[in-house]
Amino acid sequence: MAELRDWQARLARRAFGEAILFYYLLEEGFPRARPGGDRGALHAWRDELHERGAARLALYVRAEGQGIPVELIRTIDREASHGATNADWLPPGDSPQHPVARCAVDGIAERMWSIVEMSTAAQADHSWFAPGLPADVRHQLRENVTTLRETIVALAYSGQLGAADLAELIPATEDGWELAVRSAVYNFSRTRLRERWRTLSWLDDADEAAVRASAGVRAEDLPTDVLVPSVEELHHLVGRAVATLDLKSLARGAVIPDLTFDPTDAIWPDAGFDMGL
């Protein structure tokens, strides 16, 4: 098995756990039909299945974009789909770091991925990717990037993380940014991107504010502020990666091949959808 950083191992285990929940709900949680029964249970099951499927796919996509080998992600899905629940075969993700530092690392990794997705959505060619994405939604996505960066600075400070720690969490090369952006885009059909990018505009500001408050001072006054690329730099780095996207590859380079497809011969060409949802 490929060597994973501790935070990547924890992400892999989280993805496995989400996959277990999805497949259990699919196979065991299905409400059995009864003569004259209320279809409300069926609708509730389908709604929850959609949410679980979306969470599962989002974690797979994030895992790929943050350097976890695709073959491991496929193995995670295969094991979960076959009913496996024991995660002992995955790296434990144990770390010698203090628990506060571990939480900071995981929080930064998650927010960096959100920044990639949000900045991509704000800068992508919406005439092709997501026609009709309102200007105020794009503006909100950019505002969210600013908020998340401030939280990352605060987390780095509270976790006493240095430049070497952050170098593992923030892409350091153009290839790293391109991998992240490709993963964030290629694993979805156009329709799903339109849904996902709108969803990303909603950010729990209260939760982010609470995390930042723990640092005690404003992000720009923290010594860790200089260790994190500025908002302008982040948008620039993501924008350069967005410019390399091959539109023909959309939804055809998926992490799990049968999760997404965009049927070219469909009655409705934009009817691509995610099989995992």
Predicted structure pTM score = 0.87
pLDDT of residue 247: 67
CB 238 within 8 A of CB 171: no
CA 104 from centre of chain: 17
pLDDT of residue 275: 39
Tokens of 210: 């609470």
Which residue stretches of the chain have pLDDT < 70?
Answer: 1-2, 125-132, 247-277
* Residues 6 or more apart whose Cβ sits within 8 Å of residue 48: 25, 29
pLDDT of residue 98: 85
Amino acid at 11: L
| SS3 call for 36 | coil
- Beta pairing class for 273-274 and 260-261: antiparallel
pLDDT of residue 92: 87
Radius of gyration of the chain (CA): 20
pLDDT of residue 57: 94
Torsion of CA 71, 73, 75, 78, to 10 degrees: -130
pLDDT of residue 250: 62
